[in-house]
Chain A
Amino acid sequence: MQVFDIFLLEAVLNGILFGGVLALLALGLNLIFGVIDVVWICYAELMMLGMYTVYFLHKVHGLPLFVAFAGAIVVVSALGVVLHQFVIRPVLNGEPINQLLVTGGVLTFLQAAATLMFGIEFRNIGISMPSLMVGEISLPWSRISAALTALVAMLALYLFLKKTYLGTAIRAISQDRAIMPLMGVAPAKIYLLTSAIGGALAGLGACLLVLQYDVHPAIGLSFGPLTFMVCVLGGLGNMLGGFIAAFIFAQLISVGGFYFHIEWGYVMAFGFFIVMMFARPQGLLGQK
């Protein structure tokens, strides 16, 4: 009998890499919710548009990959601003159910618009990266670089929120919006900035995903619910909670998939989520 299973280790390492990307996806959604108190149900559809942006800029127009990445981040960041200004702002003080419905409507709209514009075929940017071989363990570089980029981006956001005046204002506004004008801060501006950052994070997420997955109009459905569940498991709006939850989810999917089948990995992760919602409905680090 084998004492130590090398392929289990590979699954665990892959889970860590996937967790890093998942944590980045959850971060944008958590930031928006934590600061603006609105859930962007259409978050993954913004990523889908970012993936198309990379595809068209790089594959169709032949721009270098990093230019295409930068383009996707800018485009999705701008979409975040537009989303806030024209969709969220009118319902900002409305019923939470209305806020969910409008962003849910945007989800359907973006999916349908993408189907009409781009068709339903799966598109691939056609970049294949080699794998890193450590003994018998094989780790795709696309996953390693995605996870590392996600970690760097999360660290950069942390430092921004912690060290700068704007970042401090973003954290402050989520704690007491009404007195922000007394500090000389216009809340509307901070909300737009936060939406731009949330959009940029979705854009960066798109860059990392497009390295590993084909883009098609329904790709959002593969990541939207997952991202949302990671946020809820961690405690919606709690960025550290989301970070931890992302790695738990990714590990369950990866290791569960290793023992049974990749689909069973998802079943286990979602089953765990359901049980946790009974045990701890406010999320791992959420407050009641």
Chain B
Amino acid sequence: MATPMLELKNVTAGYGSFQALFGVSLTVNAGEAVAVIGPNGAGKSTLLRAISKLINVTAGEIVLEGRRLNDVEPHRIIELGLSQVPEHRRLFPRLTVEENLRMGAYLPAARAKFSERLEMVYGLFPRMKERRHQLAGTMSGGEQQMCAIGRALMSGPKLLLLDEPSAGLAPVIVQSIFELVRKIRKQGYTVMIVEQNVHQVLKVVDRAYLLEVGKIKASGTAQELLASDEIQKAYVGL
């Protein structure tokens, strides 16, 4: 079998003396879209932060295309083709949309392709082109999410991590954000997405893992999980 895009082996991580992840193992294959679902406080965002090295892994291994990430400096992760859309979007509020996108293309290799990728992002989000000179902090939540996703695409990643893209957005906007995720998948990006909006996210991914109190409790294809009684009762609310 081919080397997976991303592999986590028994990853343990936390904040100071507080442990948030207990031996998490999971795999994302190239071309796949994988979701990590679970309730608030399950450790989903911690998981993405650990993969991007924003917090330290205390045990276990994170491997990207066969390369161990544990000892890679945080700012070098993006060079390896892994880009993250952080929780709450985290745009630079007093930079314009285009300046935010420029920050996404900060790497020397990405700078060379800046105009090409800028066109690509503007093609994906025509609204961002209209607003390119607007300060990012003055846009609506949905627009900010588009900008944040665009910023993450500017580095030309192989693997895109999305942390709760639907959080805090109006239901109709949530729909369009998931529609975008589907579009991005079609362009060939491998996507890993962390979501509380279980019903919606399972419709756009291939497989999913259920994370509860820092441990993987279940996994399977999106259809399997959607059909499972336990998930239906606890998360989908049908």
Residues in A lying within 8 Å of B, measured CB to CB: 165, 168-169, 171-172, 175-176, 178-186
Q: Is B141 an interface residue (CB 8 A)?
A: no
Residue in contact with B54 in the complex, picked from A171, A176, A178, A184, CB distance below 8 Å:
A178
Interface of A is mostly: helix
> Pick the contact of A184 from B78, B94, B95, B102 — CB < 8 Å?
B78
Knowing A171-B95, A172-B92, A183-B78 touch, does A165 contact B111 (C-beta < 8 A)?
yes
- In the bound complex, residues from chain B placing their C-beta under 8 Å from that of A181 are 52-54, 73-75, 77-78
Which stretch, B18-26, B79-87, B169-177, B210-218, touches the partner chain A? B79-87
Does B83 lie within 8 Å of A182, measured CB to CB? yes
* A165/B102 in contact, CB under 8 A: yes
Note all chain A residues with C-beta closer than 8 A to B104.
183
Cβ-defined contact, B93 with A172, below 8 A: no
Please determine whether A169 and B93 come into contact, CB atoms closer than 8 angstroms: no
| Cα–Cα distance between A276 and B13 once the two chains are bound (Å) | 50
Q: Could you tell me the distance between the alpha carbons of A171 and B100 in the complex, rounded to whole angstroms? A: 11
With beta carbons under 8 angstroms apart, the residue of A168, A178, A184 that contacts B107 is A184
The list of the 9 closest CB pairs from A to B, nearest first, reads A181-B74, A184-B78, A181-B75, A186-B75, A175-B92, A184-B107, A172-B92, A183-B106, A179-B90
The contact sample of 18 A-B pairs, CB cut-off 8 A, is: A165-B102, A165-B111, A168-B95, A168-B99, A169-B103, A169-B106, A171-B92, A172-B95, A176-B90, A179-B90, A181-B53, A181-B54, A182-B52, A182-B54, A184-B106, A185-B75, A186-B73, A186-B75
Query: Is B155's beta carbon under 8 Å from chain A?
Result: yes
B151 → chain A closest CB, angstroms: 8
What residue of chain A has the Cβ atom nearest to residue B102's Cβ?
A168
State in angstroms the CA–CA spacing of A89 and B103 once bound together: 25
CA distance A183 to B102 in the complex (A): 10
Minimum CB–CB distance for B60 against chain A, Å: 20
State in angstroms the CA–CA spacing of A184 and B52 once bound together.
11
- List, in ascending order, chain A residues with CB within 8 A of B99's CB: 168, 171-172
In the bound assembly, the distance between CA atoms of A169 and B103 in angstroms comes to 7
Which residues of A sit under 8 angstroms from B93, Cβ to Cβ? 175
Asked if A182 meets B78 with Cβ closer than 8 Å, knowing A165-B102, A165-B106, the reply is yes
**Measured between alpha carbons, how far is A176 from B86 in the docked complex, in Å?**
12
| Partner-A contacts on B (CB < 8 A) | 52-54, 73-79, 83-84, 86, 90, 92-95, 99, 102-104, 106-107, 110-111, 155
Which of these, A168, A178, A184, contacts B75 with CB under 8 Å?
A184
CA distance in complex: A183, B153 (Å): 11
A185 to B103, CA, bound (A): 9
Chain B residues whose C-beta falls within 8 Å of the C-beta of A176 in the assembled complex: 90, 92
Nearest-neighbor residue (CB-CB) of B82 within chain A: A182
B-side contacts of A180, CB under 8 Å: 75
On chain B, the residues within 8 Å of A186 by CB distance are 73, 75
Question: Is the pair B103, A168 in contact by a Cβ cutoff of 8 Å?
Answer: yes
Pick from B77, B95, B107: contact of A175, CB below 8 A.
B95
Residues of A within 8 A of B74 (CB): 181
| Complex alpha-carbon distance, A180 and B110, angstroms | 16
B77 contacts which chain A residues (CB < 8 A)?
A: 181
Chain A CB within 10 A, most for which of B54, B74, B75, B84? B75
Q: How far is the CB of B194 from chain A (nearest CB, A)?
A: 15
Instruction: Known contacts A168-B103, A169-B103, A172-B103; decide if A184 and B155 are in contact (CB<8 Å).
Output: yes
User: Shortest distance in angstroms between A277's beta carbon and chain B's nearest beta carbon?
Assistant: 25
Hey, which chain B residues are within 8 Å of A171, CB to CB? 92, 94-95, 99
Task: Give CA–CA (A53, B113) in the complex, Å.
Answer: 44
Docked complex Cα distance between A96 and B83 (Å): 34
B79 to chain A: closest CB distance in Å? 6
A185 to B106 alpha-carbon distance, docked (Å) = 7
Q: Which residues of A contact B90 (CB under 8 A)?
A: 176, 179
Q: For the complex, give the distance between the alpha carbons of A178 and B54 in Å.
A: 8
Cα A185 to Cα B104 in complex, Å, equals 10
Among residues of B, the one whose C-beta sits closest to the C-beta of A180 is B75
The docked-state distance in angstroms from the alpha carbon of A285 to that of B106 is 30
Task: Give the most central of A169, A172, A182: most B CB within 10 Å.
Answer: A182
Chain A positions within 8 Å of B103 at CB level: 168-169, 172, 183, 185
